[in-house]
Structure 1
Amino acid sequence: MKKYRKKILWLAPILIFCLYWLGIYLSLKNPMEEIVYSENGGMMRYITVNRFTESIGSLRVWKEDEEFQIYPYSEGIVSGDERLSVLMFHDSSDWTFRYEVDIAKGITVGFGFTYDSTKKIFRQEGLFLSKNGASYKGQQLLDQLATYGKDRTWLKKQSKKVVEQYILGTWFKNGSSRYSLKNLGDMKIEYNELIEEK
């Protein structure tokens, strides 16, 4: 009888630890919650998921006294004419990803994706084309794109590539494979209305 009590006393901390870890793991309901937790979580984050900053090719450590940080994605993830970075906050899950691509010399198309943790929506916003110091949005953006042989379909493909391949795809490959493009948990992706076919 004493033998069993000793075994139970010895196994109890391990069992409690495992249940605690499982509880944290199951509480992450979508890939963005995993991503945020991988940087903002407690010590358990090192057991649950890989660090997000490592998954995007950054070796720089986020210091605890920094309220926010901007981390660029490595060139191994995006091509030479593209730039992608993430603005991360310590006290918020509403991170913003900023993307820009040069479509010609001095001509840049850009947009962002922000995670709305309250509504569980990964939303595209701030769609623009920059040319000679001027910024074009809406129909003017589409008109400008046409002069470079690009259209709404190209814009939609580019937007989907950024989300599915660069942001989420990189996380599924280098961070955590618990979720996938077919299983985003309780998160939805919402594209800018400009790129939706009318």
Structure 2
Amino acid sequence: MKKHLKKILWLTPILLFGFYWLGIYLSLKNPMEEIVYSENGGMMRYVMFKPFTETIGNDGIWKEDEEFQIYPYSEEIVGGQEDLSVMMFRDSSEWVYWYKYRLDRNVSVRMTFKYNSKKRVFFQKEVYLYADEKEIEGSEFLQKLATYGKDRAWLKKQSKKVAEQYILGTWFRNGSSRYSLKNLGDMKIEYNKLIEK
């Protein structure tokens, strides 16, 4: 009887740890929730995931008293005439991803992506041309873009590349083994109306 009691006492912490891990694992319903947990979660996050900042090639330290932080993706992921960074908020999954594609010295295509945790949608919030310190949107944007040999098809391809390859794809390669582009859990990806026309 004492041997059985000793075995039960010895197994109890292992079982509790296993159930705790399983509870967290099952509560993360999509890749964006995993990404946020890998930075904002408790101690268990180190057991489950590599920190998100490491997966994007950034070893910056997020200090405990900072409410938000901006981290650029490494040049090994996004380089050349492209830049991508993420603004992360503590205790929130409403992170913002900023992308810039330089067409010329003072001209660039800009995009922002955001996750809406209530609707479970990772969406392209903005897409515009930044030229001469002004934002150019809509049909004027497409006309100006054409002068650089780019069109709506290029814009759509570039938007998908940013969302699916750079942002989510980097996480699937370096962080999550559970989700993929074919399995986004309960999340959807939505692109800006300008490129979906």
The CA deviation at 1:177 is 1.8
Q: Matched residue of 2:119: which SS?
A: coil
Give the alignment of 1:49-198 within 5 angstroms.
49-197=49-197
Structure 2's unaligned 5+ residue stretches are none
Q: Matched residue of 1:58: which SS?
A: coil
Give the share of equivalent positions with the same residue, in percent.
Answer: 66
The CA deviation at 1:133 is 2.2
The CA deviation at 1:64 is 1.3
The CA deviation at 1:50 is 1.2
Quote the Cα distance in structure 1 between the aligned partners of 2:165 and 2:17.
35
Q: Residue type matched to 1:177 in 2?
A: S
Q: Matched residue of 2:108: which SS?
A: strand
Quote the Cα distance in structure 1 between the aligned partners of 2:79 and 2:70.
19
Instruction: Specify the alignment match of 1:44 in structure 2.
Output: 44
Q: Residue type matched to 2:136 in 1?
A: Y
The CA deviation at 1:105 is 2.8
The CA deviation at 1:134 is 2.5
Instruction: Specify the alignment match of 2:5 in structure 1.
Output: 5
Once superposed, which parts of structure 1, at least 4 consecutive aligned residues long, lie more than 6 Å away? Answer: none
Structure 1's unaligned 5+ residue stretches are none
The CA deviation at 1:107 is 1.4
- 1:113-169: CA deviations, max 9, x gaps? 010011101110121101222221011110111111110000000000001110000
Give the alignment of 1:13-52 within 5 angstroms.
13-52=13-52
Quote the Cα distance in structure 1 between the aligned partners of 2:21 and 2:147.
54
The CA deviation at 1:79 is 1.7
Quote the Cα distance in structure 1 between the aligned partners of 2:92 and 2:114.
12
Quote the Cα distance in structure 2 between the aligned partners of 1:111 and 1:170.
18
